[in-house]
């Protein structure tokens, strides 16, 4: 499939991602400067908290994760080489901490993908997609529908939920999602695609059957 | 050879290409073939419409904001690390 994709020559992610101002900021963090810590809190605490909350869905746990992430920044910032941007690195640390917490909390069970993935016979649909034209957008924006959709997201196993959240909800680029989660692009795409298929099926069963 | 060049993707292939199609990742030739298939195949039209809507449904409501008090606690914590 990759032969059909544009931009086949990979971007050079080995080149330093940090601009000069980012280099100065990182240097300030390494040196434990007050101004750098203030900037870290001001610039990043909301976004990282948002990611942790979306993964964990609990305010207190997300706050704990944020504190653990900042602890890691203090301890490990000197290992940051500038191969990615600082924000991608921070996303990665946050995602790792949150995912470890989910695993220890015994997250969503494995799904039976056999029942979720589309079925084909000789390359043609074996069952058709319900007509989503019967489901007005306003219906999906109602509180109950949004809560239901959120509950579906939480049913996704974390290896599918995390890439879905970073790609579709946080709207990171594909490269940023791969960097943050340590995934190859084909694996990341497959997991986001399957997450979307799972959510689609869940909504169809609720509203279109 | 000519048939192979003109062959449109099957429905199964189109489902596999759906992610890259919506992300704009397909090369122009394949994108044209997928688009042509989508003009003549009602089941794939239905699938792609649903897939597009799912992608657009990703919740954009922001989580509850991080309290300012907590941000100050973070700063206190970070200051402690300086000493």
The CATH number of the domain holding residue A38 is 1.10.1740.10
Does the beta-carbon distance from B23 to A169 stay under 8 Å? no
Q: Would you state the pLDDT for residue B48?
A: 96
User: Domain check: are A163 and A91 in the same one?
Assistant: no
- Residue B81 falls within a domain, yes or no? no
Domain with residue A126: its CATH number is 1.10.10.10
Last residue of a domain, one of A104, A127, A149: A104
What is this model's ipTM?
A: 0.85
Q: What is the pLDDT of residues B8-40, one digit of tens each?
A: 999 999 999 999 999 999 999 999 999 999 999
- Residue A9 falls within a domain, yes or no? no
Whole-structure pTM value: 0.80
Chain-centre distance of CA B64, in angstroms? 25
Residue A174 Cα, gap to closest chain B Cα (Å): 10
- Residue A83 falls within a domain, yes or no? yes
Does the beta-carbon distance from B58 to A4 stay under 8 Å? no
A76 at B interface, C-beta within 8 A: no
- Residue B45 falls within a domain, yes or no? yes
- Residue A94 falls within a domain, yes or no? yes
Q: Angle B3-A190-B28 (CA atoms, 0-180°, nearest 5)?
A: 40
User: Domain check: are A64 and A150 in the same one?
Assistant: no
Cβ–Cβ < 8 Å for A51, A94: yes
Does the beta-carbon distance from A5 to B53 stay under 8 Å? no
Rounded Cα–Cα distance for residues A49 and A46 (Å): 5
Q: Would you state the pLDDT for residue A195?
A: 97
Strand, helix or coil for residue A148 = helix
A154 CB-near residues (< 8 Å, 6+ apart): A57, A108, A161
Domain housing B48: 2-59
- Residue B29 falls within a domain, yes or no? yes
Give how many domains chain B has, as a whole number: 1
- Residue A118 falls within a domain, yes or no? yes
User: Domain check: are A163 and A182 in the same one?
Assistant: yes
Does the beta-carbon distance from B54 to A120 stay under 8 Å? no
Domain housing A65: 15-104
- Residue B42 falls within a domain, yes or no? yes
Last residue of a domain, one of A61, A81, A104: A104
Q: What is the DSSP letter of A169?
A: I
User: Domain check: are A200 and A122 in the same one?
Assistant: yes
Q: Would you state the pLDDT for residue B1?
A: 43
Q: Would you state the pLDDT for residue A9?
A: 35
- Residue B75 falls within a domain, yes or no? no
Q: Would you state the pLDDT for residue A109?
A: 67
Length of chain A, in residues: 209
Q: What is the pLDDT of residues B32-53, one digit of tens each?
A: 999 999 999 999 999 999 999 9
User: Domain check: are A100 and A117 in the same one?
Assistant: no
Q: Would you state the pLDDT for residue A5?
A: 62
Give how many domains chain A has, as a whole number: 2
Q: Would you state the pLDDT for residue A106?
A: 60
Of A150, A14, A19, which Cα lies nearest the Cα of B59?
A150
Chain-centre distance of CA A174, in angstroms? 10
Residues of B with CB below 8 A from A200's CB?
50-51, 54
Q: Would you state the pLDDT for residue A17?
A: 47
Mutation target for B interface from A143, A196, A201: give the one with most B CBs within 10 A.
A196
Residue B47 Cα, gap to closest chain A Cα (Å): 6
Angstrom CA distances, A94 to A166, A174, A186, A192, stand at 12, 17, 22, 19
- Residue B78 falls within a domain, yes or no? no
Torsion angle of the four alpha carbons A166, A167, A171, A174, in this order, in degrees rounded to the nearest 10? 110
User: Domain check: are A121 and A63 in the same one?
Assistant: no
Residue A191 Cα, gap to closest chain B Cα (Å): 10
- Residue A78 falls within a domain, yes or no? yes
- Going from the first residue of chain A to its last (209 residues), give the mean pLDDT of each consecutive group of 10, the final group possibly shorter: 47 45 91 93 92 86 94 91 87 90 71 89 93 91 92 90 91 89 95 97 93
Of A31, A53, A172, which Cα lies nearest the Cα of A102?
A53
Last residue of a domain, one of A40, A74, A104: A104
């Amino acid at each position: 499939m990759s032969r059909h994709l544009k931009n086949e020559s990979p971007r050079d992610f080995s080149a330093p991602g940090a601009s000069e101002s980012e280099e100065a900021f990182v240097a300030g963090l390494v040196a434990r400067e007050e101004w750098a810590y203030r900037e870290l809190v001001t610039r990043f605490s909301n976004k990282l908290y948002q990611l942790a909350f979306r993964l964990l869905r609990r305010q207190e746990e997300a706050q704990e994760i944020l504190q653990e992430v900042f602890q890691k920044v203090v301890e490990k910032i000197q290992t940051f080489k500038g191969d990615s941007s600082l924000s991608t690195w921070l996303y990665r640390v946050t995602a790792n901490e949150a995912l470890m917490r989910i695993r220890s909390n015994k997250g969503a069970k494995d799904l039976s993908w056999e029942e979720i993935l589309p079925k084909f016979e000789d390359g043609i649909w074996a069952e058709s997609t319900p007509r989503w034209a019967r489901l007005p957008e306003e219906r999906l924006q109602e509180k109950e529908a949004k809560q239901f959709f959120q509950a579906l997201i939480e049913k996704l196993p974390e290896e599918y939920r995390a890439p879905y959240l970073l790609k579709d909800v946080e709207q990171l680029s594909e490269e940023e999602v791969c960097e943050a989660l340590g995934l190859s692009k084909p694996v990341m795409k497959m997991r986001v695609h399957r997450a979307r298929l799972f959510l689609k099926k869940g909504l169809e069963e609720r509203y279109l059957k | 050879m000519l048939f192979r060049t003109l062959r449109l993707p099957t429905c199964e292939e189109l489902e596999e290409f759906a992610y890259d199609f919506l992300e704009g990742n397909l090369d122009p030739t394949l994108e044209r073939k997928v688009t042509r298939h989508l003009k003549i195949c009602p089941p794939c039209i239905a699938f792609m419409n649903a897939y597009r809507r799912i992608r657009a449904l990703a919740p954009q409501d922001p989580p509850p904001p991080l309290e300012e008090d907590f941000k100050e606690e973070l700063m206190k914590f970070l200051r402690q690390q300086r000493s």
